Amino acid sequence: MTGRFITFEGIDGAGKSSHIPRLADWLQAQGRTVLVTREPGGTPLAETLRECLLHQSMDAMTEALLVFAARRDHLQQQIRPALEAGHTVLCDRFTDATFAYQGAGRGFDLKVLTQLEAWVQSGLQPDLTFLFDLPSAQAAQRRAAVRAADRFEAQDENFFDRVRSGYQLRRAAQPGRFALLDASQTPAEVWTQLRRALEARGW
C-alpha cells in the first residue's frame, strides 16, 4: 500500500467534520489525489447500515457487528483500492470509534472488538489519527446549538465521558498513530494544531 490513511475521531460535537474538507483542499493543492469518506458509511451498503445504526434501537453486540460489516464493505470497495492507487484517504471515524462508542460507551467486550478488528482489517490501521479532544459538557453545548440528536448524540454526558476515556485508551496503546488536538480552541487554532502535526511527520 502506498497511499496514506488518515482518520478523524472525537466525541460528537468536537468539531472534526469541518476540518476534513479543509485538509482535503490543502492536500489537493499539493497535487495529492484525495478520497474523503466516512464511517459508518462510504459505500451504498454501508450507508444503508449507517441509517439503521443511527435511528433503530438495537443492543451493543448488534451495533458492533453492523459497524464492522459496514467497515468490511467500505475497506473492500473504497479504502483499500484507493490506498493501493497511492491516494490519500481521509475518513471521518474508523475503528477507534467502535472501541470508544460500543466498547467504552456501551460496555461491549473489548476482546471481541479486538478479534473483529483483526478479522475485518487483516492488520490494516490508519497511518495517522487526529483525535479531537474536548470535555463532554462543552461538546454537548456545541451539539445543542446545531442539530437534532441521533441515537448516539442523544446519550447523556456520562456516556460521552466514557467515550472520551475510550479514545484515550486507544491512544495510550498506539501513541505513535495519534495526533491529539485540543478541540476546545477556535477552528483556526485547531487547524494550526492539525497542520503542525502533519509538519512534525514531514508531510
The distance between the two most distant Cα atoms of the chain, rounded to a whole number of Å, is 44
Contacts of 25 (CB under 8 A, 6+ apart): none
CA–CA separation, 74 vs 181, rounded Å? 26
Q: Which is nearer to ligand TYD, 49 or 82 (CB)?
A: 49
- Cell triple for 63: 451495533
Minimum CB separation from ligand TYD for residue 72, in Å? 12
* Residue 129 lies near ligand TYD (rule: CB under 6 A): no
Residue 12 as a binder of ligand TYD (CB under 6 A): the answer is: yes
Asked whether position 40 contacts ligand TYD by CB under 6 A, the answer is yes
The answer to whether 154 and 118 are in contact (CB under 8 A) is: no
Give the shortest CB-128-to-ligand TYD separation in angstroms: 17
- 3 is written with which cell numbers? 497511499
Rule CB under 6 A: choose which of 46, 66, 67, 82 binds ligand TYD: 67
Q: What is the DSSP string of 41-67?
A: -SSHHHHHHHHHHHHS---HHHHHHHH
Residue closer to ligand TYD, measured from CB, 32 or 60:
60
98 binds ligand TYD (CB under 6 A): yes
Question: In the stretch 174-193, what mask flags binding to ligand TYD with x, by CB under 6 A?
Answer: --------------------
DSSP 103: I
We find the least distance from the C-beta atom of residue 28 to ligand TYD, in angstroms, to be: 22
The three grid cell numbers given for residue 64, joined into one nine-digit string: 458492533
Could you tell me which stretch among 96-104, 124-132, 167-175, 193-201 binds ligand TYD (CB under 6 A)? 96-104
What is the enclosing helix (H) or strand (E) of 195? helix 187-200
With CB under 6 A as the contact rule, the residue among 79, 97, 120, 179 that binds ligand TYD is: 97
C-alpha 187/C-alpha 1 separation (Å) is: 32
- Binding region for ligand TYD (CB under 6 A): 12, 17, 39-40, 67, 92-93, 97-98, 101-102, 152-153
